Amino acid sequence: MSPILEIDNLSVALPRGADRALALEGVSLALEAGEILCVVGESGSGKSMTANATMRLLPVGVGVAGGAIRFEGRDLLRLPEAEMRQLRGSRIAMVFQEPMTALNPLRSIGDQIGEAFRTHTALGRAEIERRVLGHLEEVRLPDPRTAARAYPHELSGGQRQRAMIAMALALEPTVLIADEPTTALDVTTQAQILHLIRELQRKKGTAVLFITHDFGVVGEIADRVTVMQSGRVVESGSVADVLDRPQHAYTRMLLAAVPPLTAAPARAVSAEVALSIDRVSKTFVTRGSGLRRRSTRALHEVTLSLPKGATLGVVGESGSGKSTLAKCLVRLLAPDTGAIRLADVDLAQLSRREARRATARIQMVFQDPYGSLNPRRRAGELVAQGPIAHGVARPEALARAKALFALVGLDPAATDRYPHEFSGGQRQRIGLARALALEPEILVADEPVSSLDVSVQAQVLKLLAELRARLGLSMVFITHDLRVAAQICDRVAVMKDGSVVEQGLASEVFGAPRHPYTQALIEAIPRRR
């Protein structure tokens, strides 16, 4: 049987001045009818570019340099734009990573799904409405009638992605391209969406080109796998072949970098408490009066303690309050009630001025390596800023910044470069150096590796563990990824809706979870079944 979609020796050129000449170099892959082909790779591997090239939706300045994309025997690259438009949405559909930005915020869900029918068919209004409801039911949105009238912001992330899938599958396309459709979702929601895609694909016989960076997701959903690295296909094969008997060194490296969900052997942890969080609560009240005033309970009587020299993992899904907790710890937010005791000082009770002085003792590493560094400051200055604000002379602070660069594994000569000249992993090291510059006792790390590729993730985690031992740091490690938490945490607390539902030694929580929510989280981690 000939493949339904065949990419043949495709090359895509980047504009001049980009970091490499070709985004894709001789990429070939074949998608058979009714199968799910996963394209896996790290950022910059060209996996999304492959998807966009297939839809002929390449960014301005990026052009196809050679090759062919055959869909049902026709070369998509040579079709006139009008015919391509006919295909898009009706025969080849696409689901994007971030459903909030992929949906038009000013139009209702039903209206946007109906658009596909209005554009590609001559159906009447009543019939379109009936079909829209049918599709919303099919993706199992609760109460399809309400969902059809809802606007994107009124749905949750998972519901929005369901709506996107309903939209993509509205005209029963032969090929569905899904570009990281579950990356922005919580792990339990991700499990549901993966299940839904698999089920609809089986029912309708759609061929799915599934782009992902996560080998767990691959194991969960793929029939066949293509691994990409820097614009080239390095390995292709059945899911069993690639995952169990990887041939290429890069595939082996990627697979090895995926952390297992088994806690590292327990370390001896001091009995001395470095930080104790005692019944901390925080409620957000939105501005407004009367009925429009809404309050959200972000933290409810959270009690945790961090032993000296240990790492306390705080895990939970979005909205669980874990980031609010981190912000309360470094006093970016003031808790409503409760105490945060660092040795003899209650951080929650400090005035703003005192809190600013106390910042040296408890420092934070942020999630986003792009957003957390001021783009207009040199890297060395960013690191030296903290000590300067706390009274260290400028030349001395800059000299210390160089030493810190060496400590976090960066070239000390790179201190006079700007943040955009560093890679994501390197920037995260700059953020770490900035936090360490004040010689804190406690380091609060808020999702420090979540936006990094798995191979870089492993390096940064290793660095954190090394520094913890060398500098005697105690660490609060916030993450949504249980596998990451298992790698580095001595103790783990699981949060849900602002409360801690379970806490204990990492090996206990991951090995024998007691709370049903913890069990659900662990069960939802994507893996081979």
For other proteins, the binding residues (CB under 8 A) are: 15, 60-61, 327, 330, 332, 356-357, 359-360, 363-364, 366-368, 371-376, 385-386, 389-390, 431, 434-435, 437-438
- Between 231 and 431, name the residue whose CB sits nearer to other proteins: 431
- Between 69 and 330, name the residue whose CB sits nearer to other proteins: 330
- Between 134 and 371, name the residue whose CB sits nearer to other proteins: 371
Q: How many CB atoms lie within 10 A of CB 380?
A: 24
| Smallest separation (angstroms) from other proteins to the CB of 361 | 10
Sheet holding 362-365, edge to edge: 362-365, 442-446, 474-479, 311-315, 491-496, 499-505
- Surface-to-core class of residue 311, CB atoms within 10 Å of its CB (0-12 exposed, 13-18 middle, 19+ buried): buried
- Between 316 and 440, name the residue whose CB sits nearer to other proteins: 440
| Smallest separation (angstroms) from other proteins to the CB of 27 | 23
- Between 15 and 124, name the residue whose CB sits nearer to other proteins: 15
- Between 142 and 371, name the residue whose CB sits nearer to other proteins: 371
| Smallest separation (angstroms) from other proteins to the CB of 382 | 9
- Between 248 and 377, name the residue whose CB sits nearer to other proteins: 377
Q: How many CB atoms lie within 10 A of CB 339?
A: 15
| Smallest separation (angstroms) from other proteins to the CB of 169 | 33
**Helices assigned H by DSSP within 62-210:** 81-87, 99-102, 109-120, 125-138, 144-149, 157-169, 187-204
Give ∠ CA 251-254-257 in degrees, rounded to 5: 150
| Smallest separation (angstroms) from other proteins to the CB of 360 | 7
- Between 420 and 529, name the residue whose CB sits nearer to other proteins: 420
| Smallest separation (angstroms) from other proteins to the CB of 162 | 29
Give ∠ CA 529-135-104 in degrees, rounded to 5: 100
H or E stretch covering 281: strand 273-285
- Between 13 and 222, name the residue whose CB sits nearer to other proteins: 13
> Crossing angle for the helix pair 157-169 and 187-204, nearest 10 degrees?
10
Place of tokens 């249980």: 482
| Smallest separation (angstroms) from other proteins to the CB of 60 | 6
Going from the C-alpha of 488 to that of each of 313, 325, 408, 467, the distances in angstroms are: 8, 19, 17, 12
H or E stretch covering 396: helix 394-407
| Smallest separation (angstroms) from other proteins to the CB of 183 | 20
Tokens for 447? 């999702």
Nearest alpha carbon to residue 494 among 368, 321, 298? 321
| Smallest separation (angstroms) from other proteins to the CB of 61 | 5
Alpha-carbon gap, residue 106 to 174, rounded angstroms = 29
Going from the C-alpha of 412 to that of each of 187, 406, 445, the distances in angstroms are: 39, 6, 23
| Smallest separation (angstroms) from other proteins to the CB of 199 | 38
- Between 64 and 365, name the residue whose CB sits nearer to other proteins: 365
Alpha-carbon gap, residue 26 to 11, rounded angstroms = 5
Nearest alpha carbon to residue 477 among 513, 499, 448? 448
